[in-house]
Amino acid sequence: MKTLIVASGNPGKLREMQEYLTGLDWDLQLKPKALEIEETGETFMANACLKASQVAQAMGKWAIADDSGLAVNALGGAPGIYSARYEKTDSERIERLLKELGDTANRQAQFVCAVAVACPDGSIALHSEGTCRGEILNSPRGTSGFGYDPVFYVPQWQQTFAQMQPELKHKISHRGQAFQALLPQIRSIEG
């Protein structure tokens, strides 16, 4: 059985990634906290590849990484790849986002998730990307999930990500889409 290092330090993302990966014939291990990778890429995919590749090389094992974020139309795609670096805590990030948007009528936004799997030598073996469209509310709703979930409303389901049952978020979210495309490919290289 191959070992797969899950290269994330974000507990919310890690929980979701582990749920997508359970049931696979891989021995999942967490990245050591001390191993931090600087996100110098200019796209979600560049940063996902960077994190997977550097963690794989440092540990000499297969690694999987996710780079994701929220792109808000009226803010020219911000916070985008800087979603984690926007402010220090989830509540401060939400507060800043709502302040920047003010009473702007255009609330369209999308979550994007890039996932990459690297071989033990650091080369990228697999990658995929998923998106989910929604709208930014004027105030938070719901307590599930993490990050910007309480202000990300999905009109089709009339709920924010933070109001959804985890199973529904997993199915329709940016991360869900990216993992649905990636899982059959991961299965094809297990062993």
Ordered DSSP codes for 44-73? HHHHHHHHHHHHHHHHTSEEEEEEEEEEEG
Neighbours of 120 (CB within 10 A): 16
**Secondary structure of residue 116 in the 3-state scheme:** strand
Q: Assess contact for 47 and 39: CB atoms under 8 A.
A: yes
In this structure, what DSSP letter does residue 79 have? B
Is residue 148 near ligand ITT by the rule CB under 6 A? Answer: yes
Is 121 catalytic? The answer is no
Is residue 83 near ligand ITT by the rule CB under 6 A? Answer: yes
Which of 26, 62, 153, 161: binder of ligand ITT (CB under 6 A)?
161
Residues that bind ligand ITT (rule: CB under 6 A) add up to a total of 22
Rank residues 156 and 188 by Cβ distance to ligand ITT and give the closer one. Answer: 156
Is residue 149 near ligand ITT by the rule CB under 6 A? Answer: yes
User: Which residues are at the interface with ligand ITT (CB under 6 A)?
Assistant: 8-10, 13, 39, 66-70, 83-84, 93, 111, 145-149, 161, 173, 175
